[in-house]
Structure 1
Amino acid sequence: MADIERIGTGYFWNIFFASALVCAGVQVLARRHGRGQKGEALLRPPPGFRAFQRVFLAVNLVAMLADWLQGPYVYALYVHYGYDQGVIGVLFVTGYLSSAVFGAVAGGMADILGRKKGCQAFFVAYIISALTKSSPSFHWLLFGRVASGLATTLLHTAFESWMVCEHFRRGFPAQLLGETFGKLALGNGVAAVSAGIIAQTAANYYGPLAPFVVGSVLLAFSLAIVTLGWTENYGTAEAADGDGAVGALVMRVAAGVRDGYSTILRDKRLFYLGMGQASFEAGMYTFVFMWTPALQANAAYHDAVRGSLGLIFAIFMVCTMTGSGVYGRLSSEDALGVRKLQPIVHAVAAMSCVAPALLPFHTPLMMLSFMALETMVGMFYPMYGTLRGAHVPEDKRAAIMSLFRVPLNLFVVVVLGNVQSLSTSVVFVLCLAVHVAGFEAQLRFRRAADAKTTTPPSGSGGFDFGGGGDDDGTSSGDGDGDGNGGAATADVDNDDASSDER
């Protein structure tokens, strides 16, 4: 058994170094290409932009690092406490159901009460969630999953909404918004890879609870920075002036959610964009739960996988960085614009579910498929972030983004709520189906966008993905012309270089 473990562990280290080498090559090529695209078309950032960008990226990336730290060991911690897969499924379902419930209103509340307050609420909720992991009590762990669901929704709505609003409020060009998204995606990959190694090191020395403690400390520091250094902004001017009465607040939040819902139904582009996003993330978050037991199903790899959870997580995150770099390189080509990359991302994600569905005990092939999926995740986030920046109205941004998350959470709740009665093959067949649905949604989004020239969101300053303008989905003033400002070409000399409970 020792030989199997040694060979298996070496196998994962070989994959890590090989994938890191590929990632480094992609990043170098993309960076060189980005420099080659610059010249007369270079858009010089206005004064104050780099400082603003650094502060936002530092805080958001620390928040993501803390989130990533728990990724490899959530499932393992519950097993350590003696819970079986059925009970663990209930705990995961509680988190996703919490995210679905809070997702319907949290974004609207952030628009009304303030996006800064929404970011502060994220830190508080996540610290509470991490602290509950110190108890093996099922009820405490369940409460922690509820807090985690709220935190997850705020992480993926409040921070982006605050940044986009502040970006335009300060008068920065719309073309630079994509650059921030690209650097966020690249930095998120770096944070995720680092988190895998840090989490495994901490767990090896202090047990599976250690990564959660480290994350809590990071979150506390970031909360202090946001509290002392960030300004407040709102979805509407009236939100800042409203009274604090509970009844009035509830009515305003409900009105904001209804307005966001009706906006999605009126605009086919928003509807299909949201469905494409929800479908992709539904399959991805189901994978988040399944990758640990799936890779451990083969007895020959069980011990090696159990002893390398952080390393395997780091491999996945290296693949995410590779996808971010590939996106930055391809989206800079006029012939292959942002929207034209959508079918590739959704199709490859669907195909990555075939091997786990047909050969659930073939660990090497499943590992390769999971790496392909994570590569698509790296392309997905900057791509959809740029598209949301173009199509989602500013005054309803957080509410609409929260509503996008409701169907994905409902899907995951249904699947994980029945995971004990479903085989690994069946679960991945369902993931395949939902990725195919996302592929269809993005095709309909492209047709709707081509049929109608996009009107830029209020205050956005001129994104156009509706078929007019440059085919790469950016204004010609973007020196990188990559639709994300260089996901893989972050200016690491001057700037700082995804996620839920993965």
Structure 2
Amino acid sequence: MFSQKNKMKIFLKIGITTFYTVAMYSYLNIGQSEKVQSETTLFASPCVIAAFDCALVMLVVSLALILSRWKENYGDPNQNVLHNIVTAFHLLMTDSNVFYLAVFQSTFESCMYLFVFMWTPILEESALNMMSGEIPKSVDHGMVFADFMLCCMLGTNVKNWYIKQMKQKTDVENEEKNECDESATLYVKFASYVCLLACVALGTISVCNSFQARLCCCLLFECCVGMYWPIVSHLRATFIPDHIRATSMNLSRIPLNVIVIVVLIFVHQLTSFPTVYTFWFCVGLLILSYFSVLMLGRR
């Protein structure tokens, strides 16, 4: 059986291989898409879909590793689902840490999913505003997405490095303090930094029309996303009991989906609605996320 550390290394290597392959094929086929679009055919060119074929191979390898090495945690089959939901909702309403963590997750992930829908129009809008001689007339979405994934992975590694450095410093200065409390405090502080950094990134996109500046801010936001996932996982394990953790976090996804759906419907109905307004709305959500994460651990 693979240890957790070895599993992370394996999938890190798979991720690097997959996304570098996507970036390479995207770079080699910048002009290929225009040729394909000019031809009427039922099937795409092999060169255009080669990156997806390579990604499929990596997914099959991942599937084989998961099926052969991981054991499923089925939980308690006798547990009543309705009872779990009621218990989780009661915990959400009575435990301030669980409530603020749910707000943190809902607001930050709402920004993430809105960004997924809005990064393409915001970059294309900037590309059209630029002079034709400075950048390509169209955005290379494959290359940009590959860069997003690499930045997301980079953010996770930055988080690991930062937490390791701060833990070493904390252990030297506060050897007698509770290790669990110190770890939670450290993650809460880092989560607040991530919220502020993401707020700066999306705020800059809202006020700046430069294609290069917006692209850099998009990459910075993806780094924040890479830092967010391990942080929120640690905070869940710290503040939410294991037997009710999944149900509690699923409840927090209800407002998340409501926010995303309402905003997208609003943007779709108003064709004249500026794209940057969506990013300003995300900035507001990130400010709320920042203050909610600061409240964690304060009873």
Range of TM-score over shorter length = 0.7 to 0.9
Aligned to 1:444: 295
Is residue 119 of structure 2 the alignment partner of residue 291 of structure 1?
A: yes
For residues 369 and 404 of structure 1, the distance between their equivalents in structure 2, rounded to whole angstroms, comes to 27
State how far apart, in whole Å, the 1-side matches of 2:241 and 2:26 are.
Answer: 41
Aligned to 1:233, what secondary structure does the other structure show? Answer: coil
The answer as to whether partners of 2:199 and 2:283 remain within 8 angstroms in 1 is yes
The alpha-carbon distance between structure 1 residues 293 and 384, as it changes in their structure 2 partners (threshold 3 A), is same
Deviates further, 428-437 or 395-404:
395-404
Q: Is the 8 A contact 2:18 2:55 kept in 1?
A: no
SS of structure 2 residue aligned to 1:382 = helix
**1:37-76 CA deviation, whole Å, 9 max, x = no partner?**
xxxxxxxxxxx6xx232675488x4xxxxxxxxxxxxxxx
What residue is the counterpart of 2:70 in the other structure? 230
Q: How many residues align?
A: 261
Q: Flag structure 2 segments of 5+ consecutive residues without an equivalent.
A: 33-44, 171-184
Counterpart CA distance in 2 for 1:276 and 1:54 is: 27
Q: Distance in 1 between matches of 2:97 and 2:203?
A: 29
Aligned twin of 1:433: 284
Change (3 A) 1:198 1:399: farther
The answer as to 2:197 corresponding to 1:348 is yes
- Per-residue deviation at 1:366? 1.0
* 1:308 maps onto 2:140 in alignment: yes
* Correspondence for 2:251: 403
Contact 1:356-1:424 at 8 Å conserved across structures: no
Q: Secondary structure at the match of 1:296?
A: helix
| In structure 1, distance between residues paired with 2:137 and 2:81 | 45
Q: What residue is the counterpart of 1:485 in the other structure?
A: none
Question: Distance in 2 between the 1:231 and 1:400 partners?
Answer: 23
Q: Distance in 2 between matches of 1:352 and 1:266?
A: 34
- Residues 355 and 369 of structure 1 are in contact (CA less than 8 Å); yes or no, is this contact kept in structure 2? yes
After the TM superposition, which residues 263-278 of structure 1 pair with which residues of structure 2 at under 5 Å, given as runs?
263-278=91-106
Separation (CA, whole Å) in 2 of partners of 1:327 and 1:58: 16
**1:191, 1:275 → 2: CA distance?**
35
Deviation at 1:200, TM superposition (A): 2.6
Per-residue deviation at 1:399?
2.0
**How far has the Cα of 1:424 moved from its partner?**
1.0
1:209/1:369 CA distance change after superposition, 3 Å? same
1:24-173 residue pairs with structure 2 within 5 A? 51-53=2-4, 56-57=7-8, 61=11
Percent identity over the alignment?
A: 27
CA separation of 1:224 and 1:373: change in aligned 2, threshold 3 A: closer
Q: Look up the equivalent residue of 1:375 and give its one-letter code.
A: C
| 2:275 aligned with 1:324 | no
Can you list the C-alpha shifts for 1:5-57, whole angstroms capped at 9, x where unaligned?
xxxxxxxxxxxxxxxxxxxxxxxxxxxxxxxxxxxxxxxxxxx6xx2326754
The one-letter code of the counterpart of 1:232 is E
- Superposition deviation, residue 187 in structure 1: 6.0
**What is the SS of the residue equivalent to 2:136?**
helix
Name the CA distance, whole Å, in 1 between partners of 2:120 and 2:203: 17
Residues 450 and 437 of structure 1: is their aligned pair in 2 closer, same or farther, counting only changes over 3 Å? closer
Instruction: Give the superposed CA RMSD.
Output: 3.2
Confirm whether residue 194 of structure 1 aligns to residue 194 of structure 2: no
Give distance in 2, aligned partners of 1:403 and 1:330.
Answer: 31
Q: Is the 8 A contact 2:14 2:58 kept in 1?
A: no
The alpha-carbon deviation at position 385 of structure 1 amounts to: 1.8
1:304 to 1:255, Cα distance in 2 relative to 1, 3 A: farther
The CA deviation at 1:272 is: 0.8
Unpaired runs of at least 5, structure 1: 1-47, 62-185, 243-248, 452-502
Determine if contact 2:27/2:143 at 8 Å carries over to the other structure: no
Structure 2 SS opposite 1:231: coil
1:235–1:397 contact (8 Å) kept in structure 2: no
User: Structure 1 residues 342, 227: CA separation in 2 closer, same or farther (over 3 Å shift)?
Assistant: closer
Alignment partner, residue 418 of structure 1: 266
> Whole-Å Cα distance in 1 between the matches of residues 262 and 25 of structure 2?
30
Residue 382 (structure 1) aligned with residue 230 (structure 2): yes
Is the Cα–Cα contact under 8 Å of residues 235 and 396 in structure 1 kept in the other structure? no
Say if 2:83 is the partner of 1:255. yes
Deviation at 1:435, TM superposition (A): 0.8
Q: Is the 8 A contact 1:354 1:429 kept in 2?
A: yes
